[in-house]
Amino acid sequence: MALFRFLPQLDPVGGLLTLQRELERVFETPLGVDLGPSGRGVFPAVNVFSNPDGYVIRMEVPGIAPEQIGIECSGRTLTVRGKREVAPPAGGSFHRRERGGGEFSRSLQLPADLDLSRAEASCKHGVLTVRVPKKEEAKPRQITVKAA
């Protein structure tokens, strides 16, 4: 898989288009890595990326405060739970209702070479990011060649 780099300061248009092309390509050939059964259509939607340090998992969780999201790790499984409240003021009626509410829970099975005990999560503007680093022994290593 090609690692692509964004240089938004140089070419914002190209960056956006490259990302979209890459995402579409992955759509066509899904599951580059076995993450368990696909949960497409389940809230929240998930994108998984990799970088040299490990995996970056992104979920779209609009309308959920960071403190309302619970993340659990057990073995190779990462579970994200929470509740989305959609509570309008009383005494009116809906014209359009496209946003759902309620409790959710989603689990992902991650490759064994990741170290879930060092995972870090942050949530900004309705996007949850979980960074899971690779285990030290799984990282690429340079071997110096000694003169015999």
Partner 1 sequence: MTTQELGVHDKQELKSQEATRPGRAYVPDVDIYETSEGLWLWADMPGVDEKSISIDLTDNVLTLEGQVSLKDYENLAPVYTEYNVGNYVRRFTLSSEIDGDRISARMTNGVLELSLPKSERAKPRRIPITTS
**Site residues for partner 1 per CB under 8 A:** 1-6, 8, 12-13, 15-17, 19-20, 22-27, 30-33, 35, 39-51, 55-56, 60-66, 84, 86, 88-89, 91-104, 123, 125-127, 129
Between 5 and 146, name the residue whose CB sits nearer to partner 1.
5
Nearest alpha-carbon partner for 106 in 60, 39, 52: 39
CB of 65 to partner 1, least distance (A): 6
User: Angle at Cα 17 formed by Cα 12 and Cα 22, nearest 5°?
Assistant: 130
Between 110 and 146, name the residue whose CB sits nearer to partner 1.
110
Query: In one letter, which amino acid is 127?
Result: V
* Residue 110 near residue 76, CB atoms below 8 Å: yes
CB of 97 to partner 1, least distance (A): 5
Between 50 and 107, name the residue whose CB sits nearer to partner 1.
50
CB of 93 to partner 1, least distance (A): 6
CB of 48 to partner 1, least distance (A): 4
Cα 53 from Cα 114, distance rounded (Å):
10
* Residue 80 near residue 69, CB atoms below 8 Å: yes
Cα 56 from Cα 129, distance rounded (Å):
7
Between 101 and 144, name the residue whose CB sits nearer to partner 1.
101
* Residue 103 near residue 135, CB atoms below 8 Å: no
